[in-house]
Amino acid sequence: LALGRIQKSLGRAVERGKLDEAGRDDILGRIAVTTDLEEMADRQLVVEAVTENEELKKEIFGRLDDIVADSDAILASNTSSIPITRLAASTSRPDHVVGMHFFSPVPVMALMELVTTVMSNPGVEDRAQAFAEEIGKTVIRARDRAGFVVNMLLVPYWLSAIRMYEAGIASKEDIDTGMKLGANHPMGPLEL
């Protein structure tokens, strides 16, 4: 399933002229897909990206803690809302657990929120940031709390737009047009 989505995304990039077929084939040749966490044993960085289910994420972090052999390896979560401290508590190495929240679609979106906790090892933070920058991401750092930076700002924005529409203050189209033309947003909150 994941490989199919990656192939489809790369196919669209080829169709749009943003990537040639050789580039697509090179990328696909470097990707390995597995459902076996045991294959992560020798990794220096593992980024968990399962659904936003805290118990499932904790279970995976506990398993990765046992599987990933190098005690200096980074265990990261791509969560957009679950506090990293809670996930880190599922491991014996909470100082090596960070949030690396990549925005979707990852190949297009330049931002990555690096979320650290009071337990985070500064060297781990720097290594995680260096990795993200190496793959072309702009990194912003956030302290640990649900929602981090972007979602803490977006959720109230969305709720305000919904309440405005529900109260009959303006149409959906006018709310979106107002934010696009008045605040120079690429799309309005309801469209988003």
Query: Are the C-beta atoms of residues 148 and 99 closer than 8 Å to each other?
Result: yes
Is residue 96 part of the annotated active site? The answer reads no
Q: CA distances (Å), 126 to each of 73, 104, 115, 178, in order?
A: 13, 23, 12, 40
Query: Are the C-beta atoms of residues 101 and 148 closer than 8 Å to each other?
Result: yes
Burial bucket for residue 179 (CB in 10 Å: 0-12, 13-18, 19+): buried
DSSP 3-state assignment of 177? Answer: helix
Q: Which among 57, 93, 96, 101 is annotated as catalytic?
A: 101
Q: Which residues contact 76 (CB under 8 A, 6 or more apart)?
A: 45, 46, 47, 48, 97, 98, 99, 100, 128
Task: Specify the length of the chain in residues.
Answer: 192
98: how many CB neighbours lie within 10 A of its CB?
29
134: how many CB neighbours lie within 10 A of its CB?
8
Catalytic residues, by residue number, are: 101
